[in-house]
Structure 1
Amino acid sequence: MGNPRNIVLGLVALVTAGTLTACDDGRAGAESGAKQLAAALSALDVGSLTLDGIQQDAAAKRLAAVFKELAPAKPNVSAGKVDLSSDKATVPLEYSWKVGEAEWKYTTQATLAKSKDQWRVQWTSGMLAPELTDGEVLDLKVSTAQRGNILGAGDAPIVVDRPVYRVGIDKTKVPAEQADASARALAGLAGLDATTYAQQVAASGPQAFVEGIVLRAFTPEISQAKLATIPGAVSVQDTMPLAPTRTFARAVLGSVGQASAEQIEKTNGALQLGDTTGNGGLQEQYDSLLRGTDGVTIGAVPAEPPAGSAASARELFAVKAVSGASLKTTLDPRLQQLAEDTLAGVGPASAIVALRPSNGAVLAAASGPGSNGYNTAMLGQYAPGSTFKIVDSLAMIRNGMTPDSKVNCTPTLTVDGRTFKNAEGYPEGSLGSVTLRDAFAHSCNTAFIAARDGVSQAQLESAATSLGVAVEAPKLGAAAFLGSVPGSAEGTEHAASMIGQGKVLLSPLAAAVMAASVAQGSPVSPQLVLNPDAVPQPSGGASPSAVPTGSAAGSGSAVPSGSAPSAQATAPATPVTKQEAAQLSDMMRAVVTSGHAGFLTEVRGAPVGAKTGTAEYGKENPPKTHAWIVAVHGDLAVAVFVEDGGLGATTSGPLLKQFLTAAG
């Protein structure tokens, strides 16, 4: 008869206690008494009632016992039309309980009798639940709904039910005096907080299994042999929704586990202690879609079943479980795993994002181990460095320049007392009067900063939105930062914007979108979630605000699909054209054929176009740098980022080459 977990129930009625007395000996008194009875039952507190057939304290205990399985919820009870016959009145009591996602409604009959000008409730168990006898109480059973899967490109399974071992203490297999020691021993083995877990074991019933950890497989650290040495420690085979590996796209997908206290509080009772729910990422953002609806059965059972036999329930209410729906995404499992493998040895926070320019599909969004679980790929906010010269160049092209136009590349350039210079090792042969293509290929900072008088900050912002940056992503379906480009800036701040610093911020996803828009010849809007009717939950996955160490927080913020910060436009003001994109592609190809990314000539297949980027941050001398590179390769656009990574060409470049070569 045990309730596996508390069920969300609602509609608590607040009542003002009163004695069931009549103002007169007619209908008004009976109706008043009926309403007070309904209010008392709504509060599950009959202490104010005058009762016949049972003592006050016995009635309170009986009421608590009948509805114990439904606690902590209370019903909404209303009194119907009173049928008055002399000194007796009968009244229908209409009950409504919120049971999970369902509503249980039923009607019972109550009788009131008038004695010495006072209407007294004639106590019967039948007025509490349909045909309930004095020897019965209510029993609640919950059948958990099958959680929906998360699928990748072509409906490839990503998060599906996979075998697990639930490891914990079975209190039926350990003497009570040994339970604390066993709990602490298991906690030490599993890396749990010993005091907390021991308290959980102590607080559980004598027949409880208290889960400590869930394993995909046993390891040398936690083996079946070691469990056997701890009295009461057992492993139970089960399944749970899991990705192919523990780390696979975890920052994007999230995980599934028991609801936290914070989640329970946020949902105002929709989740209860012990509920399984999504934690972070898509699992939390689309939890209501994936979770489905639990099944519920309420029955009447003997309050004291015969010894040695199970209670036989008389069913009063039942709702079948409804399985959750699958969430379809564009992630390519092979490319996602390849991206994660490529970043496996990178110490700082890092990311690889791969898009398909032709339709905006997000094929991979990997955050390296140095990101410590943060979704650097989609939420990171970083100065993009010279990758932003793609935006600069578009603005310059719109002002009449071409890749063959001449610009002046000097070793240094001073703006309002601040000296800007080119990266270490800049080739002397590309100084002086050079083509825009050459300045782009070798990433001449001074040439682009010198163009600031002809390219306003507003033009930079417009060019960025033209390439799908700092605009909304209505098809994405996930929390993301799509960039922030100020529309106004003067002096050194405007100069810094020309080399992707100052207050200009991109995420690796936004950088990949920028490159994809060049490849496609029109602004690309990224898409991750394919379910057309899936609606993200406000309480999950929305608007993460944490910014990784070392990143610069700008005016933009991480936002869910369809919701943009003030620095974002709803759509490109002037979309990039195929003619403009062709000129940008010409210059990105030059980065490979004559610039910093010559190593990409070895990548087979379609010609690779790229742009490297290095952005200084922090107050150290010399400052630390973010390392960037973006590239297009056929119908593939990729951004690679390393938070503390030296030069883009030497740090992120080899990672990009490794990824493109293996991607095929």
Structure 2
Amino acid sequence: MRRLGTLALLGAGVLASAGLTGCDQVADTLSGPEPRPAAEAYAAALAAGTPGSVPLAEPAAAAADEAHAGLVAGLEPAFGGVEPRVEVLDVSRSGDVAEVDLGWTWALPAGEWSYESTTSLRLVDDEWRAVWQPGVVEPSLVEGEVLDASTLGASRGDVVGAGGEPIVTERPVVRLGVDRGAVSPKQAVRAAERLAGLADLDVAAYRDRVEAAGERAFVEAIVYRAAEVPGPVARAAGSTAGVVAIADEQPLAPTRDFAAELLGSVGEVTAEMMADQPGVYRMGDRAGLSGLQARYDEELRGSPGMLVRAVDDAPGASGGERELVAMPATDGDDLVLSLDVDLQRTAEQLLAGVGPASALVALRPSTGEVLAAANGPGVGATNVATFGQAAPGSTFKIVTSLALLRSGLTPGSTVRCTPGVVVDGRRFTNYSDYPAADLGPIPLRRAIASSCNTALIAEGGRIDGTDLYDAAATLGLGIDHDLGFPAYFGSVPQPETDTEAAAALIGQGRVLASPMAMAAVVASVQEGATVVPTLVEGYTDEPPEGAAPLTRGEAEALRSMLREVVVSGSGRGLADLPGPAVLAKTGTAEFERDGEVLTHAWMVAAQGDLAVAAYVEVGESGSRTAGPLVEAMLRKR
């Protein structure tokens, strides 16, 4: 530090004496605690919505809390409980007053709303106290104004099929309900009871909802497709006071049942969804509830926008409003699928009269694209087409044939078909009307064409469980893939006993598959390469590592045997189909239910660039039950 000379020190002493009173005043002005800790505490209280929780200069704590709550109450429905982040940007003190600059940030689904406001602190009895006024919350607000927010809805993305054809898109609907504001409370109750009765709803439950609703509320009862409103319900909307029909649009598939188990549904969010994802879903939002609509909800729903206004809410005011911030909505993205709308409709129409659980799947062998994945009415809400799990029966003999070819047999190799064969004490037989002409020594191709169980089991010593698993993998069965939709690729486990090994050779025991997986098997034969199904754009997968590629010779041999099934075997019903040669394999698989032995009925086929699998949970046989479904599908392709 530079030392001052004697003269300078004397001069400084004189100046100090002359200005002693002024310096005492400055010291008094800057005495007391620093204001920043109080400013930080006030910022935290504002963020929590409780400005009265810190010492206030004005107004009183209770009054400040009440005024603050009233000012921001209009944000809650749209903001859904989002609290702001409030930061102290700067504190500037002048005597007993400190000016505080605050930074506000609301992290909303539509984006961040950020701004700055100013408030003040006052030093009272050696304690800094805050001042609350509307401008603290938003700088342009004046007395009598409150904040109000509304959500700007985003358009949900469509589900689009092959060729860009819309599957799920906005379609006309009619919303029916009771308008509380149009009638007296008693009339509203009578209207609710009449509408619920005509629409076959729970009358008491809907009446209670109407009674509990606000005086001007519209209480929705049911939504119909515009062309499907029942006559009595439509007439009630025109003749019953309080019953109102509102034309609207809603994302819908072409029909109520179109690929319903796969696509899933869209509806009002549940309390559980809001609890699981706070800030994402709000009361009244619509979202995917199941199936692909639920899995891809984030992409499909887009992001809602937000409009925040200042509303003049003072008594006697005109109710004017001004916009503070508008955040536009971002519409959802389309979900693109490979489904062919016409082929899916055909498949569903074919299954409409099938009572047991059933499914039809169609693939394009050259690409693996799933063109149809239809479930019959007997499945309930279960997606059997791509995720069902059942023993594939003799359709699995395609896999067994490949394993035998790799063991050294050829389609012309002689095998022995007997009426029965015993393995480890269990007797295996052929189906009841197996042709007697195909018993005895026959070529392997005849054993496959007529579906001889005993011949394949007798040759089982040539292969083991690993050989069967490897052959299945080559044909697209038994190894899972993540393809962006519910897909079961089957199971070919290592057999634990000789009996289980014998059962596996004919597609029973613990061998399981879905209709989609069996469609992939016959598609792989048709294509001459492993076919991995694909349904959702952007989700494709390669054949599993380690799976031996299907050789040209193997593919030709398999095609010749599956062609024999159509020419002179259990698939003769497909022999007169016009167009390219048809390959096929039928199958039945026994299972027990309630002490009764029943049979699954299967058939797989391929023609040109189309592969089809049909499955009926309980049927007579593959050729008689599943065969007509496959034939009709190929004829209408």
What pairs up with 1:443-458 in 2 under 5 angstroms? 443-458=451-466
TM-fit CA distance, 1:185 = 2.8
Task: Give 1:296's aligned residue.
Answer: 306
Q: What residue identity is the alignment partner of 1:483?
A: G
What pairs up with 1:299-338 in 2 under 5 angstroms? 299-304=309-314, 311-338=319-346
For the residues of structure 2 that align with 1:132 and 1:502, how far apart are their CA atoms? Answer: 75
Please report the TM-score for the alignment, with normalisation by the length of structure 2: 0.91
User: Are the equivalent residues in 2 in contact too, given 1:251–1:375 (CA < 8 A)?
Assistant: yes
Q: Which shifted more, 386-395 or 55-64?
A: 55-64
Task: Give 1:255's aligned residue.
Answer: 265
TM-fit CA distance, 1:195 = 3.6
Task: Give 1:517's aligned residue.
Answer: 524
Task: Give 1:34's aligned residue.
Answer: 39
User: Are the equivalent residues in 2 in contact too, given 1:189–1:221 (CA < 8 A)?
Assistant: no
For the residues of structure 2 that align with 1:572 and 1:508, how far apart are their CA atoms? Answer: 24
TM-fit CA distance, 1:367 = 0.5
Task: Give 2:486's aligned residue.
Answer: 479
Change (3 A) 1:584 1:304: farther
What pairs up with 1:549-628 in 2 under 5 angstroms? 570-571=544-545, 573-620=547-594, 622-628=596-602
TM-fit CA distance, 1:280 = 1.7
Q: What residue identity is the alignment partner of 1:643?
A: E
Task: Give 1:87's aligned residue.
Answer: 96
TM-fit CA distance, 1:619 = 4.3
Partner of 1:590: helix, strand, or coil? helix
Change (3 A) 1:622 1:200: closer
Task: Give 1:552's aligned residue.
Answer: none
Q: Could you report, residue by residue, the CA deviation over 1:532-577 in whole angstroms, capped at 9, with x for unpaired residues? A: 3x8xxxxxxxxxxxxxxxxxxxxxxxxxx879xxxxx944521222
What pairs up with 1:226-625 in 2 under 5 angstroms? 226-304=236-314, 311-474=319-482, 476-530=483-537, 532=538, 570-571=544-545, 573-620=547-594, 622-625=596-599
Task: Give 1:53's aligned residue.
Answer: 58
For the residues of structure 2 that align with 1:190 and 1:562, how far apart are their CA atoms? Answer: 47
Change (3 A) 1:373 1:167: same
Partner of 1:602: helix, strand, or coil? coil
Q: Which shifted more, 389-398 or 87-96?
A: 87-96
For the residues of structure 2 that align with 1:502 and 1:486, how far apart are their CA atoms? Answer: 10
- 2:624 maps to 1:650: yes
Task: Give 1:149's aligned residue.
Answer: 158
User: Are the equivalent residues in 1 in contact too, given 2:51–2:132 (CA < 8 A)?
Assistant: no
TM-fit CA distance, 1:615 = 1.0
User: Are the equivalent residues in 1 in contact too, given 2:480–2:488 (CA < 8 A)?
Assistant: no
User: Are the equivalent residues in 2 in contact too, given 1:47–1:56 (CA < 8 A)?
Assistant: yes
Partner of 2:308: helix, strand, or coil? strand
TM-fit CA distance, 1:182 = 2.6
For the residues of structure 1 that align with 2:201 and 2:111, how far apart are their CA atoms? Answer: 37
Partner of 2:35: helix, strand, or coil? helix
Considering only CA atoms, is the larger Rg found in Structure 1 or Structure 2? 2
Partner of 1:325: helix, strand, or coil? coil
Task: Give 1:10's aligned residue.
Answer: none
For the residues of structure 2 that align with 1:205 and 1:25, how far apart are their CA atoms? Answer: 57
For the residues of structure 1 that align with 2:620 and 2:452, how far apart are their CA atoms? Answer: 17
For the residues of structure 2 that align with 1:250 and 1:42, how far apart are their CA atoms? Answer: 46
Q: What residue identity is the alignment partner of 1:45?
A: T
For the residues of structure 1 that align with 2:30 and 2:604, how far apart are their CA atoms? Answer: 88
For the residues of structure 1 that align with 2:343 and 2:102, how far apart are their CA atoms? Answer: 62
User: Are the equivalent residues in 2 in contact too, given 1:139–1:313 (CA < 8 A)?
Assistant: no
Partner of 1:82: helix, strand, or coil? strand
Structure 2 alignment gaps of length 5 or more: 1-28
User: Are the equivalent residues in 2 in contact too, given 1:96–1:104 (CA < 8 A)?
Assistant: yes
Structure 1 alignment gaps of length 5 or more: 1-23, 535-560, 564-568
User: Are the equivalent residues in 1 in contact too, given 2:368–2:534 (CA < 8 A)?
Assistant: yes
Alignment partner of 2:83 out of 74, 85, 94: 74
Q: What residue identity is the alignment partner of 1:187?
A: A
TM-fit CA distance, 1:96 = 1.8
User: Are the equivalent residues in 2 in contact too, given 1:174–1:231 (CA < 8 A)?
Assistant: yes
Please report the TM-score for the alignment, with normalisation by the length of structure 1: 0.87
Task: Give 1:126's aligned residue.
Answer: 135
User: Are the equivalent residues in 2 in contact too, given 1:466–1:572 (CA < 8 A)?
Assistant: no
Q: Could you report, residue by residue, the CA deviation over 1:218-265 in whole angstroms, capped at 9, with x for unpaired residues? A: 444553213345431111001111111111111122222211233333
Q: Which shifted more, 377-386 or 170-179?
A: 170-179
Change (3 A) 1:78 1:488: farther
For the residues of structure 2 that align with 1:45 and 1:495, how far apart are their CA atoms? Answer: 75
Task: Give 1:115's aligned residue.
Answer: 124
TM-fit CA distance, 1:132 = 1.4
- 2:605 maps to 1:631: yes
TM-fit CA distance, 1:153 = 0.8
Partner of 1:497: helix, strand, or coil? helix
What pairs up with 1:144-223 in 2 under 5 angstroms? 144-216=153-225, 217-220=227-230, 222-223=232-233
User: Are the equivalent residues in 1 in contact too, given 2:195–2:233 (CA < 8 A)?
Assistant: no
Q: What residue identity is the alignment partner of 2:345?
A: Q
Q: Could you report, residue by residue, the CA deviation over 1:430-463 in whole angstroms, capped at 9, with x for unpaired residues? A: 1111111111111111112222222111111111
Q: What residue identity is the alignment partner of 1:397?
A: L
Change (3 A) 1:437 1:265: farther
Q: Which shifted more, 393-402 or 197-206?
A: 197-206
Give the number of the structure whose residues are more often helix, by fraction: 2
Partner of 1:223: helix, strand, or coil? helix
For the residues of structure 2 that align with 1:55 and 1:562, how far apart are their CA atoms? Answer: 67
Task: Give 2:146's aligned residue.
Answer: 137
Q: Could you report, residue by residue, the CA deviation over 1:487-511 in whole angstroms, capped at 9, with x for unpaired residues? A: 4533222121111111111111111
Q: Could you report, residue by residue, the CA deviation over 1:568-621 in whole angstroms, capped at 9, with x for unpaired residues? A: x94452122222111111111111111111111121111111011111112455
User: Are the equivalent residues in 1 in contact too, given 2:33–2:127 (CA < 8 A)?
Assistant: no
User: Are the equivalent residues in 1 in contact too, given 2:33–2:126 (CA < 8 A)?
Assistant: no
Identity of aligned residues (%): 45
Task: Give 2:20's aligned residue.
Answer: none
Partner of 1:296: helix, strand, or coil? strand
Task: Give 2:615's aligned residue.
Answer: 641
Change (3 A) 1:415 1:620: farther
4+ residue runs of structure 1 moved beyond 6 angstroms?
none
For the residues of structure 2 that align with 1:408 and 1:27, how far apart are their CA atoms? Answer: 107
Q: What residue identity is the alignment partner of 2:205?
A: T
For the residues of structure 2 that align with 1:456 and 1:502, how far apart are their CA atoms? Answer: 15
Q: Which shifted more, 126-135 or 612-621?
A: 612-621
User: Are the equivalent residues in 2 in contact too, given 1:457–1:489 (CA < 8 A)?
Assistant: no
For the residues of structure 2 that align with 1:621 and 1:420, how far apart are their CA atoms? Answer: 20
For the residues of structure 1 that align with 2:524 and 2:199, how far apart are their CA atoms? Answer: 48
Q: How many residues align?
A: 604
Change (3 A) 1:34 1:660: same
Change (3 A) 1:369 1:202: same
TM-fit CA distance, 1:198 = 3.0
